[in-house]
Amino acid sequence: MSAADRPPHGRHRPRPWRLMIVPIAVLALLGGTLGTAVAGESTARPTGQAGPGQPDEQTEDERPRTNAQDISPLACPSIPPNHDPAVIETVYRVGLSMSVSDKVMLAGFEAGWVESHMNNLPCGDRDSLGVFQQRPSQGWGTPDQIMDVSYASRSFFTQAKIMEPRHPDLSAGLLADSVQRSCCPWRYDEAEGRARAMIEEARLAVGPGIPSAQDLREFTTTGSAVASATSVDGRIEVFASNGSGTLHRWQTAPADGRPGGGGWSEWVSTGGPADARIALSRAPDGRIEQFALTPHALWHRFQTTLDGAWSGWSQFGPGGSDLATAVSRDGRLEVFVVHDIGIRHRWQTSPADGRPNGGGWSEWAETGGPGGAQVVLDVAPDGRLEQFAVTSAATWHRHQINLDGAWSSWSEFGAGGTDLTTVAGFDGRLEVFVADAGGVRHRWQTSPADGRPGGGAWSEWVATGGPGAARLTVALAPGGRLEQFATTSGGIRHRYQTDLAGNWSAWTDFGPGGSDLAATVNADGRIEVFLAAHSGALQARWHTIPADGTPGGGTWSGWGAFSAQARSAQARSTQARPAQPSAQTR
Is residue 277 pLDDT above 60, yes or no? yes
Same domain, 169 and 84: yes
The answer to whether position 496 is within a domain reads no
Phi, psi of 202 (to 5 degrees): -65, -40
Same domain, 261 and 175: no
Instruction: List C-alpha distances in Å: 395 to 93, 390, 542.
Output: 31, 4, 32
Encode 294-306: b = buried (16+ Cβ within 10 Å), e = exposed. Answer: beeebbbbbbeeb
pLDDT band of 390, cuts 50, 70, 90: very high
Return the half-sphere exposure (C-beta side, CA atoms, 13 A cut-off) of residue 379.
Answer: 26
Domain count, the chain: 2
Handedness of CA 71, 74, 75, 78 (dihedral sign): positive
Sheet containing strand 491-496, strands side by side: 471-476, 482-488, 491-496, 508-511
Angle subtended at Cα 310 by Cα 304 and Cα 312, rounded to the nearest 5 degrees: 110
Least confident of 26-35, 68-77, 198-207, 475-484: 26-35
How far is the C-alpha of 197 from the C-alpha of 246, rounded, in Å? 49
State the pairing for strand pair 411-415/482-488.
unpaired
Is residue 332 pLDDT above 60, yes or no? yes
The full DSSP string for 340-393 is TTEEEEEEBSS--TT-TT-S-BPPPEE----TT-EEEEEE-TTS-EEEEEE-SS
| Distant-in-sequence, close-in-space partners of 40: CB < 8 Å, separation ≥ 6 | 134, 138, 139, 140, 141, 155
The CA R_g of the chain, rounded to the nearest whole Å, is 24
The answer to whether position 217 is within a domain reads yes
Rounded mean pLDDT, 160-187: 90
Is residue 408 pLDDT above 80, yes or no? yes
Give the pLDDT confidence score for residue 455 in this predicted structure. 65
Same domain, 190 and 280: no
pLDDT band of 46, cuts 50, 70, 90: very low
Identify the residue with better confidence: 520 or 41.
520
Determine the angle formed by the axes of helices 172-180 and 192-206, rounding to 10 degrees: 90
Reported as type and span, the H/E element at residue 272 is: strand 268-272
Long-range (24+ apart) CB contacts under 8 A made by 502-505 are 502/42, 502/44, 502/45, 502/46, 502/47, 502/50, 502/51, 502/54, 502/425, 502/444, 503/44, 503/46, 503/47, 503/48, 503/49, 503/50, 503/56, 504/46, 504/47, 504/48, 504/49, 504/464, 505/551, 505/552
Same domain, 242 and 283: yes
The answer to whether position 471 is within a domain reads no
Is residue 300 pLDDT above 80, yes or no? yes
Number of C-beta neighbours around residue 524 at 10 A: 17
Quote the strand ranges of 99-138, DSSP E: none
Give the pLDDT confidence score for residue 16 in this predicted structure. 26
Rounded mean pLDDT, 277-284: 88
State the pairing for strand pair 482-488/288-293.
unpaired
Same domain, 195 and 262: no
Name the range with the highest mean pLDDT among 282-286, 318-322, 325-329, 568-572. Answer: 318-322
CB 25 within 8 A of CB 122: no
Return the half-sphere exposure (C-beta side, CA atoms, 13 A cut-off) of residue 295.
Answer: 2
The answer to whether position 509 is within a domain reads no
Is residue 225 pLDDT above 60, yes or no? yes
| Distant-in-sequence, close-in-space partners of 359: CB < 8 Å, separation ≥ 6 | 332, 333, 348, 349, 350, 351, 352, 353
Which residue among 180, 206, 232 closes a domain? 206
Give the pLDDT confidence score for residue 450 in this predicted structure. 62
Give the pLDDT confidence score for residue 280 in this predicted structure. 92
The answer to whether position 218 is within a domain reads yes
Phi, psi of 61 (to 5 degrees): -75, -20
Number of C-beta neighbours around residue 349 at 10 A: 13
Give the pLDDT confidence score for residue 89 in this predicted structure. 93
Same domain, 75 and 189: yes
CB 431 within 8 A of CB 423: yes
Tallying the residues shown for the chain, one arrives at 586
CB 545 within 8 A of CB 520: no
The answer to whether position 497 is within a domain reads no
CB 151 within 8 A of CB 49: no
Is residue 517 pLDDT above 60, yes or no? yes
Give the pLDDT confidence score for residue 396 in this predicted structure. 98
Is residue 116 pLDDT above 60, yes or no? yes
Identify the residue with better confidence: 105 or 205.
105
pLDDT band of 548, cuts 50, 70, 90: low
How far is the C-alpha of 480 from the C-alpha of 104, rounded, in Å? 14
Instruction: List C-alpha distances in Å: 174 to 152, 231, 248.
Output: 19, 35, 46
Same domain, 159 and 78: yes
Same domain, 178 and 304: no
Tens of pLDDT along 339-371?
A: 999 999 999 988 766 677 767 899 999 999 999
pLDDT band of 580, cuts 50, 70, 90: very low
Which residue among 206, 221, 238 closes a domain? 206
The answer to whether position 44 is within a domain reads no
Which residue among 189, 206, 223 closes a domain? 206
The answer to whether position 437 is within a domain reads no
Rounded mean pLDDT, 170-192: 93
Same domain, 191 and 65: yes
CB 329 within 8 A of CB 383: yes
Q: Can you give the residue range of the structural domain that contains 231? A: 211-331+563-586
Whichever domain contains 148, its CATH number is: 1.10.530
Give the pLDDT confidence score for residue 261 in this predicted structure. 56
CB 396 within 8 A of CB 412: yes
pLDDT band of 469, cuts 50, 70, 90: very high
How far is the C-alpha of 523 from the C-alpha of 531, rounded, in Å? 20
Same domain, 92 and 220: no
CB 33 within 8 A of CB 130: no
How far is the C-alpha of 366 from the C-alpha of 232, rounded, in Å? 33
Return the half-sphere exposure (C-beta side, CA atoms, 13 A cut-off) of residue 520.
Answer: 22
Number of C-beta neighbours around residue 316 at 10 A: 18
Phi, psi of 156 (to 5 degrees): -60, -50
Q: Is 23 strand, coil or helix?
A: coil
Is residue 329 pLDDT above 50, yes or no? yes
Same domain, 196 and 317: no
Give the pLDDT confidence score for residue 283 in this predicted structure. 80
Same domain, 240 and 155: no
